């Protein structure tokens, strides 16, 4: 660690919703900042006007809020380094581009889009499909390096549109140390003369990113691996300005579950799971699902994301956000792509659901139910059912029998267990139940055991019948707890109704 105060940023472009890989980048920045008592800020990189999507900014802020990883500086949040939206800083960038031109690190290019297009076509027809404006081709283009100085002046005076391009030197190795990848070396021959300032006066991502990281005193640039190819240019820009480099950490790609390629925004719900933290509605009204609306608990979602490219080096898998802040280090971020695992995401959800207090789950459940069953009863329902649920709504789907009489009876259990003596046996058990004075789960269990011993039957032959009549199901939580929760009257009534219904059903079979 350097002695510089830690200031990190999440710098999304508002070109659409935040993909879960973007949330992971935000999370790692957040964890890193917290760990070193630093600042986590958000900066909106909206210099690409063509790709701007209305609503994206609000979406991003809302998603971070849901995740509980809000930055402390950013649009609408305040901070001493604002504005935090690049389009609002537009005028600050031009002097930096001009400085680069003056110092010979950049140049003006007057080629029109039509001329560039013609050049690309010509190169393509000659078998060079990927024509680039670079340290070789620039010699045959219209720019301040090839045109006489007075013509350049004339064109500027006539307000001819131009771009400012980086003048990539020929055959120079750019080296920098990445906190995740170690030393990275890229030869400038592989990098084109990137545009830094557009004819509109708007900077491109590269220039704005560097100027702002410097202005906002960013100590560590923690971002996705897709930005690694841009890093050598960024390093050159820092050098050209004579600025110290921040530390770089490029996070591994988030891959599709089969490991075949990057998990992209376009994967939407196509692979059977959401790729967005919260629902996203397109301008056309199309809705892409999000983890929040699917019923995921944000803590579990974040815990899963933390492990997507990082591990603590121990077997512990469940971490609260505070524990993650303590444990997270860039050294334990892996280089290789991290496969997204929807099953693991569900597993985390189950773990978080189980550790949510029953009272809290009951409250949430009451909000999705139309009938008022009372919070006390719902709390017990949650206690009995949450081990078998992944989402709050499963508690109802799987456990509604605790509050409503069954309307059907599990066929498989009927086929396998409902033998000839079942009706009379259950009739007798009903008799025993009606005489019980203590209706605790323990007391019912004790009587049940005495009952099967007296009948010389095993638990596996009788318990499923009891469960079937009372709950309609073949499986579930402790039958004695269920019976105790329902109470004597309800239990006995359910057995009577079940016996009547099954008598009809089995006689028809
Ligand atoms: N604006 C870039 C993005 O959309 C940020 C890259 C960076 O963090 O430097 O991800």
Q: Residue 380 C-alpha to ligand 1 middle, in angstroms? A: 48
From the list 266, 262, 286, 284, the residue with the least C-alpha distance to 276 is 266
How high is the pLDDT of residue 504?
72
**Phi, psi at 61, each rounded to 5°:** -65, -40
Indicate the SS3 state at residue 390.
Answer: coil
User: Which residue blocks in 106-148 are alpha helix, DSSP H?
Assistant: 113-125
d(CA 368, CA 381): 14
Please write the tens of the pLDDT for every residue from 25-48.
999 999 999 999 999 999 999 999
Determine the average pLDDT of the residues in 187-191: 93
509 pLDDT higher than 70: no
Measured in Å, residue 422 CA sits from the centre of ligand 1 at 68
Could you report the per-residue pLDDT of 318-356, keeping only the tens digit for each? Answer: 999 999 999 999 999 999 999 999 999 999 999 999 999
The string of DSSP codes covering 438-481 is --SHHHHHHHHHHHHHHTT--HHHHHHHHHHHHHS-S--S-HHH
**Nearest ligand 1 atom, CA 10:** 8
503 pLDDT tier (thresholds 50, 70, 90): confident
| Residue nearest ligand 1's atom 6 by CA | 11
Mean pLDDT value of segment 302-314: 97
Q: For ligand 1, atom 10, name the residue with the nearest CA.
A: 12
Q: How far is the CA of 209 from the centre of ligand 1 (A)?
A: 8
The ranges of the chain annotated as CATH 1.10.10.350 are 405-508
pLDDT digits (tens, 9 = 90+) for 464-501: 999 999 999 999 999 999 999 999 999 999 999 999 99
Nearest-angstrom CA–CA distance, 378 and 380: 5
Q: Which of 43, 45, 60, 214 to mutate to test the pocket of ligand 1 (most atoms within 8 A of CB)?
A: 45
pLDDT surpasses 90 at 452: yes
User: pTM for the full model?
Assistant: 0.92
Using 50, 70 and 90 to split pLDDT, how confident is the model at 508? low
- Fill in the DSSP letter of residue 262: B
Cross-strand bridge partners of residue 183: 177
CB 269 within 8 A of CB 289: yes
Nearest CA to ligand 1 atom 3: 12
Rounded Cα–Cα distance for residues 212 and 229 (Å): 19
Helix (H) or strand (E) holding 222: strand 220-224
Fold of the domain built from segment(s) 405-508: Arc Repressor Mutant, subunit A (1.10.10)
Ligand 1 atom at shortest distance from the alpha carbon of 234? 9
* Alpha carbons 226 and 331: distance in angstroms, whole number: 19
CA distance 301 to 292: 9
Q: How many CB atoms lie within 10 A of CB 471?
A: 25
**Can you give the length of the chain in residues?**
509
Q: Which atom of ligand 1 is nearest to the CA of 205?
A: 1
Q: Using a 6 Å CB cutoff, which residues line ligand 1?
A: 11-13, 45, 205, 209, 223, 227
Nearest 10 degrees: Cα torsion 473, 475, 479, 485: -60
Residues 6+ apart with CB under 8 A from 424: none
* Ligand 1 pocket mutation pick from 15, 28, 205 by most atoms within 8 angstroms of CB: 205
Residue positions annotated with a catalytic role: 265
Give the whole-angstrom CA distance, residue 278 versus residue 293.
Answer: 6
pLDDT at 507: 63
Q: What angle do helix axes 479-486 and 459-471 make, rounded to 10 degrees? A: 40
Which of 224, 232, 251 most suits a substitution to test ligand 1, by most atoms within 8 Å of the C-beta?
224
Task: List every span in the chain annotated with CATH 3.40.50.620.
Answer: 7-75+209-253
Q: Mean pLDDT, to the nearest integer, of 130-158?
A: 96
pLDDT of 23 higher than 60: yes
State the span(s) of the chain assigned CATH 3.90.800.10.
Answer: 94-204
362-386 b/e (C-beta count within 10 Å ≥ 16 → b): bebbeeeeeeebeeeebbbbbbbbb
What kind of fold does domain 94-204 have according to CATH? 3.90.800
Minimum mean pLDDT range among 141-155, 207-221, 252-266: 252-266
Distances (CA, A) of 219 to 6, 96, 180, 222, 335: 6, 20, 15, 10, 21
Dist. CA 465 → ligand 1 center (Å): 61
Taking CA atoms only, the protein residue closest to ligand 1 atom 5 is: 11
Beta strands 247-251 and 220-224, pairing class: parallel
CA of 128 to the centre of ligand 1 (A): 30
Q: What does the pLDDT average to over 61-74?
A: 97
Overall average pLDDT of the 422-427 stretch: 95
DSSP 296-347: --HHHHHHHHHTSSB--SSS-----HHHHHHH--GGGB-SS-EE--HHHHHH
The CATH number of 7-75+209-253, from 3.40.50.620, 3.40.50.300, 3.10.290.10, 1.10.287.1040, is 3.40.50.620
Give distance in angstroms: CA of 13 to centre of ligand 1. 7
Identify the band that residue 298 occupies on the pLDDT scale cut at 50, 70 and 90.
very high
pLDDT band at 420 (very low <50, low <70, confident <90, very high): confident
């Amino acid at each position: 660690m350097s002695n510089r105060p830690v200031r990190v940023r999440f710098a999304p472009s508002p070109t659409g919703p935040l993909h879960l890989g973007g949330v992971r980048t935000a999370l790692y920045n957040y964890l890193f900042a917290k760990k070193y008592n630093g600042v986590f800020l958000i900066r909106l990189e909206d210099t690409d006007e063509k790709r701007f999507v209305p609503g994206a900014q609000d979406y991003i802020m809302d998603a971070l809020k849901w995740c509980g990883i809000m930055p402390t500086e950013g649009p609408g949040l305040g901070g001493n380094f604002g504005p935090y939206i690049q389009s609002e800083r537009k005028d600050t960038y031009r002097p930096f581009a001009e400085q680069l031109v003056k110092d010979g690190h950049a140049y003006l290019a007057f080629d029109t889009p039509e001329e560039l297009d013609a050049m690309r076509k010509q190169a393509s027809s000659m078998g060079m499909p990927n024509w680039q404006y670079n340290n070789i081709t620039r010699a045959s283009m219209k720019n301040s390096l090839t045109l006489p100085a007075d013509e350049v002046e004339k064109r500027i005076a006539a307000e001819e549109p131009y771009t400012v391009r980086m003048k990539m030197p020929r055959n120079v190795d750019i080296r920098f140390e990445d906190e995740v990848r170690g030393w990275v070396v890229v030869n400038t021959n592989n990098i084109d003369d990137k545009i830094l300032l557009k004819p509109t006066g708007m900077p491109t991502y590269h220039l704005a990113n560097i100027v702002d990281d410097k202005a906002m005193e960013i100590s560590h640039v923690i971002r996705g691996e897709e930005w690694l190819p841009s890093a050598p240019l960024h390093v050159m820009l820092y050098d050209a300005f004579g600025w110290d480099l921040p530390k770089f950490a490029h996070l591994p790609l988030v891959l599709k579950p089969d490991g075949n390629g990057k998990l992209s925004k376009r994967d939407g719900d196509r692979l059977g799971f959401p790729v967005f933290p919260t629902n996203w509605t397109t301008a056309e009204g199309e809705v892409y699902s999000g983890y929040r609306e699917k019923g995921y608990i944000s803590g579990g979602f974040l815990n899963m994301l933390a492990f997507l490219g990082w591990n603590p080096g121990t077997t512990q898998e469940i971490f609260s956000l505070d524990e993650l802040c303590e444990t997270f280090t860039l050294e334990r971020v892996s280089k290789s792509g991290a496969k997204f695992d929807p099953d693991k995401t569900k597993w985390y959800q189950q773990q978080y659901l189980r550790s949510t207090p029953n009272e809290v789950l009951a409250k949430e459940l009451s909000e999705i139910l139309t009938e008022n069953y009372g919070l006390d009863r719902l709390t017990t329902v949650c206690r009995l059912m949450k081990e078998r649920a992944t989402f709050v709504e499963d508690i109802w789907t799987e456990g509604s029998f605790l509050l409503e009489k069954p309307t059907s009876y599990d066929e498989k259990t009927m086929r396998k267990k409902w033998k000839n003596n079942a009706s009379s046996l259950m009739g007798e058990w009903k008799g025993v139940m009606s005489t019980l004075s203590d209706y605790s789960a323990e007391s019912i269990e004790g009587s049940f055991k005495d009952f099967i011993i007296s009948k010389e039957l095993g638990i596996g032959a009788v318990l499923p019948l009891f469960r079937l009549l009372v709950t309609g199901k073949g499986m579930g939580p402790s039958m004695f707890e269920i019976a105790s929760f329902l109470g004597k009257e309800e239990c006995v009534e359910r057995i009577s109704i079940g016996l009547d219904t099954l008598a009809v059903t089995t006689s028809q079979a």
